A = this chain, B = another copy of it.
Amino acid sequence: MTVHNFNAGPSMLPPSVIAEATRAVQEFEHSGMSILEISHRSPGFMAVLDEAETLVRALLKLPEEYAVLFLTGGASTQFFMAPLNLLPQNEKAAYVDTGSWSTKAIKEARRYGHIDVLASSKAQNYAHIPKGYNLPVDTTYLHLTSNNTIFGTQYQVWPETDVPLVCDMSSDIFSRPVPANRFDLIYAGAQKNLGPAGVTLVIVRKSALGKTGRDIPTMLDYNTHISKHSSFNTPPVFPIYVSLLTLRWILETGGLHAMQQRNEEKATLLYEEIDANPFFRGVVSDPADRSKMNVTFVMADRYRELEADFLAACREANCVGIKGHRSAGGFRASIYNAMPLEGVQALVEVMRSFSLRYG
């Protein structure tokens, strides 16, 4: 059975990654042991960690001054670790509120300094990315959520500023090139474009650390993990291993420019159908802010009562994960790196058949 997996995360991984991960759970590199049973201090796993870091550096073209960490706790833990490590209590940081995850990041950050919420699209149910706000120059960092999984918006242009950026890239890391040197910190839960749930990628400019004067619990201090190469305590071995397999796949299939090209092709196909098909309408109010990762749409107003029928049609065609998040309603198709064009074509075909059947 071919399933077209449009889950928002955890989400589909490349079939070759799943095949290799399966083999490693059975036996890791002729060791007579499963990847689940090897020591995190073994040469085999240290090589995994080294290669994963090397590939992150290569894909994002990271300068030497950045550390690459594989932690746990998800982006939700970074919501407070970021200001705890970067923001002195008497200084200020700026946040843009583009959805549920930004809101949570803002809430956690307020403990650690003055937080300016420069702009919010909350009143429009986050249907666009705010622009045109003023950013004070005496701001330690500007925090962004690059892609809003729930509402389907994404920064297609980074704000113009000299203030260092801090960014939650959980749902679009490695989907396109990014100007790494504009960021003091990038963090991303793995479970969309990188791997399974259970590991969080953190990329931090080392010179931005050590300035808060705070007494930070050892496990919450980025410097702990930098000095111990993500192995201060036992790291999540298998999630890191699968992330390495995905990083290899990204590199082998062309790197971030190729990912971007494929992602744009997939998103264009789907958005064109949404715009052309009278049964549907896109959720994002400014087409320039449409996400290439999470395509949100609803039934057109006059067909609203057909929502359950459309979901049933998707299920029949083995398109799973199409129901939108309760905060946004309607439908959401998550089309991360691993989703092939054929999957999007299958969904578009369901939409076309649906409009023929009910039209």
Whether A72 contacts B236 in the complex (CB less than 8 A), given A7-B39, A36-B242, comes out as yes
User: In the bound complex, what is the Cα–Cα distance between A218 and B40 (angstroms)?
Assistant: 29
Question: What residues on B are CB-neighbors of A309 within 8 Å?
Answer: none
Say if the beta carbon of A99 comes within 8 Å of chain B. Answer: no
Say if the beta carbon of A124 comes within 8 Å of chain B. Answer: no
**Count of chain A residues near B, Cβ 8 A:** 61
Residue of B nearest to A72 (CB): B72
User: In the bound complex, what is the Cα–Cα distance between A246 and B152 (angstroms)?
Assistant: 39
Residue of B nearest to A31 (CB): B3
From B2, B12, B107, B189, give the contact of A234 (CB < 8 A). B189
Question: What residues on B are CB-neighbors of A197 within 8 Å?
Answer: 40, 234-238
Say if the beta carbon of A217 comes within 8 Å of chain B. Answer: yes
A48-64, CB < 8 A from B? none
A99-116, CB < 8 A from B? 104, 107-108, 111
User: In the bound complex, what is the Cα–Cα distance between A191 and B36 (angstroms)?
Assistant: 9
Say if the beta carbon of A321 comes within 8 Å of chain B. Answer: yes
Question: What residues on B are CB-neighbors of A21 within 8 Å?
Answer: 25, 34, 36
Whether A236 contacts B236 in the complex (CB less than 8 A), given A5-B33, A36-B196, A198-B198, comes out as yes
Say if the beta carbon of A26 comes within 8 Å of chain B. Answer: yes
Contact status B107-A218, CB under 8 Å = yes
Question: What residues on B are CB-neighbors of A8 within 8 Å?
Answer: 39
Contact status A40-B77, CB under 8 Å = no
Contact status A33-B9, CB under 8 Å = no
Question: What residues on B are CB-neighbors of A26 within 8 Å?
Answer: 18, 22
5 pairs from A and B in contact (CB 8 Å cutoff): A7-B39, A77-B219, A108-B219, A191-B234, A198-B237
Task: Work out how many copies of this chain go into the complex.
Answer: 2
Residue of B nearest to A236 (CB): B198
Contact status A34-B9, CB under 8 Å = no
Contact status B36-A10, CB under 8 Å = yes
User: In the bound complex, what is the Cα–Cα distance between A107 and B216 (angstroms)?
Assistant: 12
Say if the beta carbon of A215 comes within 8 Å of chain B. Answer: yes
A199 smallest CB distance to B (angstroms): 8
Contact status B80-A238, CB under 8 Å = no
From B38, B215, B233, B320, give the contact of A74 (CB < 8 A). B233
User: In the bound complex, what is the Cα–Cα distance between A34 and B15 (angstroms)?
Assistant: 10
Contact status B76-A10, CB under 8 Å = no
Contact status B75-A233, CB under 8 Å = yes
A-B CB proximity, top 4 nearest: A198-B236, A3-B32, A72-B72, A36-B196
Contact status A10-B25, CB under 8 Å = no
Say if the beta carbon of A230 comes within 8 Å of chain B. Answer: no
